[in-house]
Amino acid sequence: AARPLAGRVALVTGASSGIGEATAVALAGAGAAVAIGARRTDRLDALAARLRDAGSAVLQLPLDVTDEQACAGAVARTRQELGGLDVLVNNAGVMLLGTIAGADPEDWRRMIQTNVMGVMYMTHAAIDGMVEQGSGDIVNMSSVAGRQARKGAGVYNASKWAVNAFSESLRQEVTGRGVRISLVEPGAVTTELTSHITQPEAKAASEKMHAGMRALHADDIARAVVYVASQPPHVAVNEVLVRPTDQE
Ligand code: NDP
């Protein structure tokens, strides 16, 4: 079917740029009504206008995923205003690469609070309703960094390792009740992600790594999310690892 997600409702966190924005566009293109959450509401305004112009139902959610109450509120508003929640894409994240020695622990707090606690708060808010309705997808944006630890990425690695462990545990908990938990694990994707790195050497190394290859486009990952969410009810795509062909 051309619109495999017609009649479904999706919520994408971190939809103001990069992979999250592309995922919201792709899910809407597949027919879903889409709730878009992030902190930069001006970006959400622009995306919402684009999606509405294309005929999609959209809900803008000012959202900081490090705020537990805000996560609960975002899920509740989605259910009230879009009529349900079928696909939650936990995509919001930060990658503050750097050595462990000499790091600013504030970088670590931001990564753990966003990449780990954010996924947990959003999942906590969404999971009961999905179990009650006997269906639903939670797609967690992990990374190659959740499978391969490297020097200079320790706490980012730890955050994505946590996402993978949390996802697998939850998968076992709810799979018999019709709810699917999936991991999408991108390699290098050209987005704003590296722009927030605070250690100058780590930022330069990361930008050099991206520039030295044909990196993925955000839409390459968005297609993987649509693939995961479009499967028939008996098929659970648990994990999708997508690297640029050029990435070691
Ligand atoms: P971007 O920086 O372009 O996007 C990150 C998104 O997360 C933004 O929309 C940002 O919105 C949002 N975000 C950050 N902090 C918060 C917060 N506290 N609350 C709500 N939203 C937040 O990067 P990407 O698109 O590349 O990253 C998306 C995900 O993909 C991340 O989880 C990242 O770890 C993962 N990933 C990316 C890879 C890459 O190479 N780019 C590779 C592997 C994984 P705002 O600032 O408006 O709140």
pLDDT tens-digit series, residues 101-119: 999 999 999 999 999 999 9
Residue nearest to atom 2 of ligand 1 (CA): 193
- 227 catalytically annotated: no
User: What is the distance in A from the centroid of ligand 1 to the CA of 219?
Assistant: 14
Domain residue spans of the chain: 9-93+115-186+217-242
Is the ipTM higher than 0.95? The answer is yes
User: What is the distance in A from the centroid of ligand 1 to the CA of 22?
Assistant: 12
Task: Look at residues 184, 111, 194, 191 and name the one whose alpha carbon lies nearest to residue 141.
Answer: 184
Which ligand 1 atom lies nearest to the CA of residue 221? 30
In this predicted structure, the answer to whether residue 234 has a pLDDT above a threshold of 80 is yes
Query: How far, in Å, CA of 180 to CA of 167, rounded?
Result: 10
The amino acid that residue 244 corresponds to is P
Q: Is the CB of 79 under 6 A from ligand 1?
A: no
Q: Is the CB of 146 under 6 A from ligand 1?
A: no
Whole-prediction pTM: 0.98
How many C-beta neighbours within 10 Å does residue 20 have? Answer: 28
Q: Is the CB of 109 under 6 A from ligand 1?
A: no
* Angle value at C-alpha 145, between 193 and 232, nearest 5 degrees: 90
Structure token digits, residue 46: 């622009």
In this predicted structure, the answer to whether residue 51 has a pLDDT above a threshold of 60 is yes
Q: Is the CB of 64 under 6 A from ligand 1?
A: yes
- Mean pLDDT for the stretch of residues 86-108: 98
In this predicted structure, the answer to whether residue 2 has a pLDDT above a threshold of 80 is no
Given 21, 35, 138, 156, which residue is catalytic? 156
Q: Would you identify the CATH topology of the domain 9-93+115-186+217-242? A: Rossmann fold (3.40.50)
Task: Look at residues 228, 95, 87, 69 and name the one whose alpha carbon lies nearest to residue 152.
Answer: 95
